[in-house]
Structure 1
Amino acid sequence: MSVAIIAALVFVAAGATGSSAADATPVQFDARVSWIAAETMVVSTDDASVVSVDLRRVPQDEYQRLVTGDRVIVTGTLERNRVVAASIESVE
Protein backbone atom coordinates (compact mmCIF):
# COMPACT_ATOMS: atom_id res chain seq x y z
CA MET A 1 0.00 0.00 0.00
CA SER A 2 1.51 3.33 -0.96
CA VAL A 3 2.16 6.10 1.53
CA ALA A 4 -0.28 8.38 -0.32
CA ILE A 5 -3.08 5.85 0.11
CA ILE A 6 -2.27 5.46 3.81
CA ALA A 7 -2.29 9.23 4.27
CA ALA A 8 -5.64 9.45 2.49
CA LEU A 9 -7.08 6.69 4.66
CA VAL A 10 -5.84 8.39 7.82
CA PHE A 11 -7.44 11.64 6.62
CA VAL A 12 -10.75 9.90 5.90
CA ALA A 13 -10.67 8.09 9.25
CA ALA A 14 -9.95 11.36 11.05
CA GLY A 15 -13.09 12.89 9.60
CA ALA A 16 -15.28 9.87 10.23
CA THR A 17 -17.88 9.97 12.95
CA GLY A 18 -19.46 6.90 14.45
CA SER A 19 -19.04 3.60 12.67
CA SER A 20 -17.87 3.71 9.08
CA ALA A 21 -16.05 1.69 6.47
CA ALA A 22 -12.83 3.52 7.40
CA ASP A 23 -12.90 2.08 10.93
CA ALA A 24 -10.59 -0.90 11.47
CA THR A 25 -9.04 -0.77 7.99
CA PRO A 26 -5.84 -2.88 8.02
CA VAL A 27 -2.64 -0.99 7.12
CA GLN A 28 1.09 -1.57 6.95
CA PHE A 29 3.61 1.16 6.15
CA ASP A 30 7.15 2.26 6.84
CA ALA A 31 8.05 5.55 8.49
CA ARG A 32 10.50 7.31 10.80
CA VAL A 33 9.86 7.80 14.50
CA SER A 34 9.20 11.45 15.39
CA TRP A 35 8.54 10.84 19.09
CA ILE A 36 7.25 8.29 21.59
CA ALA A 37 5.49 9.05 24.89
CA ALA A 38 3.82 6.38 27.03
CA GLU A 39 1.54 4.41 24.66
CA THR A 40 1.61 6.84 21.73
CA MET A 41 4.14 7.14 18.92
CA VAL A 42 4.11 9.71 16.14
CA VAL A 43 5.81 8.79 12.89
CA SER A 44 6.55 10.62 9.64
CA THR A 45 6.32 8.94 6.26
CA ASP A 46 8.65 9.62 3.35
CA ASP A 47 6.11 12.02 1.85
CA ALA A 48 6.03 14.01 5.14
CA SER A 49 2.65 12.70 6.34
CA VAL A 50 2.43 12.58 10.13
CA VAL A 51 0.63 9.60 11.67
CA SER A 52 -0.32 9.04 15.32
CA VAL A 53 0.16 5.41 16.40
CA ASP A 54 -1.57 3.86 19.43
CA LEU A 55 0.85 1.37 21.02
CA ARG A 56 -1.47 -0.19 23.63
CA ARG A 57 -1.71 -3.53 21.79
CA VAL A 58 2.00 -3.79 20.99
CA PRO A 59 4.39 -5.63 23.33
CA GLN A 60 6.70 -3.04 24.88
CA ASP A 61 9.83 -4.91 23.79
CA GLU A 62 8.91 -4.09 20.16
CA TYR A 63 9.30 -0.34 20.71
CA GLN A 64 11.11 0.37 24.00
CA ARG A 65 14.51 0.90 22.35
CA LEU A 66 13.26 3.09 19.50
CA VAL A 67 14.48 6.67 19.33
CA THR A 68 13.69 9.66 17.14
CA GLY A 69 14.77 9.01 13.57
CA ASP A 70 14.57 5.20 13.71
CA ARG A 71 12.91 3.60 10.70
CA VAL A 72 10.00 1.27 11.49
CA ILE A 73 7.31 -0.79 9.81
CA VAL A 74 3.93 -0.23 11.46
CA THR A 75 1.23 -2.90 11.10
CA GLY A 76 -2.23 -2.27 12.49
CA THR A 77 -5.66 -0.85 11.78
CA LEU A 78 -7.07 2.60 11.11
CA GLU A 79 -9.44 3.63 13.86
CA ARG A 80 -10.80 7.16 14.04
CA ASN A 81 -7.84 9.57 13.75
CA ARG A 82 -4.98 7.16 14.41
CA VAL A 83 -3.44 3.80 13.61
CA VAL A 84 -3.90 1.19 16.34
CA ALA A 85 -0.71 -0.83 16.01
CA ALA A 86 -0.55 -4.61 16.24
CA SER A 87 3.21 -4.66 15.71
CA ILE A 88 6.16 -2.31 15.30
CA GLU A 89 9.20 -3.65 13.48
CA SER A 90 12.50 -1.80 13.60
CA VAL A 91 14.20 -1.57 10.20
CA GLU A 92 17.94 -1.39 10.60
Structure 2
Amino acid sequence: MFTGKIGAPEIILILVVVILLFGAKKLPEMARSLGKSARILKSEAKAMKSEGSQSQSAPSDPPNDAQGETPKTIQASPGDVNSSRPVAEPTDSTTKR
Protein backbone atom coordinates (compact mmCIF):
# COMPACT_ATOMS: atom_id res chain seq x y z
CA MET A 1 0.00 0.00 0.00
CA PHE A 2 2.72 2.50 1.01
CA THR A 3 5.89 2.45 -1.01
CA GLY A 4 7.63 5.13 1.03
CA LYS A 5 6.47 8.08 -1.02
CA ILE A 6 3.83 10.51 0.18
CA GLY A 7 1.73 11.89 -2.63
CA ALA A 8 -1.07 14.40 -2.92
CA PRO A 9 -3.89 12.02 -1.83
CA GLU A 10 -2.07 11.14 1.40
CA ILE A 11 -1.38 14.80 2.23
CA ILE A 12 -5.03 15.72 1.58
CA LEU A 13 -6.17 12.85 3.80
CA ILE A 14 -3.86 13.98 6.60
CA LEU A 15 -5.13 17.58 6.32
CA VAL A 16 -8.77 16.43 6.44
CA VAL A 17 -8.09 14.36 9.56
CA VAL A 18 -6.30 17.28 11.25
CA ILE A 19 -9.19 19.65 10.45
CA LEU A 20 -11.71 17.15 11.76
CA LEU A 21 -9.74 16.58 14.96
CA PHE A 22 -8.91 20.16 15.87
CA GLY A 23 -11.60 22.15 14.08
CA ALA A 24 -11.18 24.98 11.62
CA LYS A 25 -11.38 27.69 14.31
CA LYS A 26 -8.56 26.28 16.44
CA LEU A 27 -6.01 25.82 13.64
CA PRO A 28 -5.13 29.53 13.11
CA GLU A 29 -4.84 29.96 16.89
CA MET A 30 -2.52 26.99 17.15
CA ALA A 31 -0.38 28.19 14.24
CA ARG A 32 -0.13 31.67 15.77
CA SER A 33 0.95 30.33 19.16
CA LEU A 34 3.44 27.97 17.51
CA GLY A 35 4.97 30.87 15.56
CA LYS A 36 5.15 33.01 18.70
CA SER A 37 6.87 30.20 20.58
CA ALA A 38 9.37 29.75 17.76
CA ARG A 39 10.18 33.48 17.76
CA ILE A 40 10.70 33.48 21.54
CA LEU A 41 12.93 30.41 21.33
CA LYS A 42 14.97 31.98 18.52
CA SER A 43 15.45 35.27 20.39
CA GLU A 44 16.45 33.45 23.59
CA ALA A 45 18.97 31.36 21.68
CA LYS A 46 20.46 34.53 20.14
CA ALA A 47 20.60 36.17 23.57
CA MET A 48 22.37 33.18 25.07
CA LYS A 49 24.83 33.08 22.18
CA SER A 50 25.63 36.80 22.43
CA GLU A 51 25.84 36.57 26.23
CA GLY A 52 28.34 33.74 25.90
CA SER A 53 30.50 35.66 23.45
CA GLN A 54 30.43 38.79 25.65
CA SER A 55 31.47 36.87 28.74
CA GLN A 56 34.46 35.37 26.90
CA SER A 57 35.69 38.70 25.51
CA ALA A 58 34.97 40.97 28.49
CA PRO A 59 36.72 40.61 31.85
CA SER A 60 34.44 39.35 34.56
CA ASP A 61 33.78 42.03 37.17
CA PRO A 62 31.88 41.07 40.31
CA PRO A 63 28.46 42.74 40.50
CA ASN A 64 28.27 45.76 42.76
CA ASP A 65 25.15 45.36 44.93
CA ALA A 66 25.55 48.48 47.07
CA GLN A 67 25.65 51.17 44.38
CA GLY A 68 22.83 52.43 42.11
CA GLU A 69 21.49 49.22 40.67
CA THR A 70 18.93 49.60 37.90
CA PRO A 71 15.99 47.18 38.01
CA LYS A 72 15.82 44.51 35.35
CA THR A 73 12.99 44.66 32.84
CA ILE A 74 10.92 41.67 31.81
CA GLN A 75 9.14 41.70 28.45
CA ALA A 76 6.15 39.51 27.67
CA SER A 77 7.50 38.65 24.23
CA PRO A 78 10.35 39.87 22.03
CA GLY A 79 9.58 43.29 20.63
CA ASP A 80 6.64 43.87 22.99
CA VAL A 81 7.40 47.21 24.64
CA ASN A 82 3.90 47.90 25.92
CA SER A 83 3.82 45.22 28.59
CA SER A 84 7.38 45.50 29.90
CA ARG A 85 7.70 46.19 33.61
CA PRO A 86 10.61 46.61 36.02
CA VAL A 87 11.25 43.75 38.39
CA ALA A 88 12.90 44.04 41.80
CA GLU A 89 15.49 41.39 42.50
CA PRO A 90 14.87 39.41 45.70
CA THR A 91 17.42 39.99 48.41
CA ASP A 92 18.96 37.28 50.51
CA SER A 93 17.77 38.00 54.04
CA THR A 94 19.09 34.75 55.50
CA THR A 95 22.68 35.95 55.81
CA LYS A 96 23.77 39.04 57.72
CA ARG A 97 26.66 41.14 56.50
> Normalising TM by the smaller chain, what interval?
under 0.3
More helix by share: 2
Higher RCO (CA 8 Å, separation ≥ 6 residues): 1
Larger radius of gyration between Structure 1 and Structure 2: 2
Provide TM-score, normalisation by structure 2: 0.23
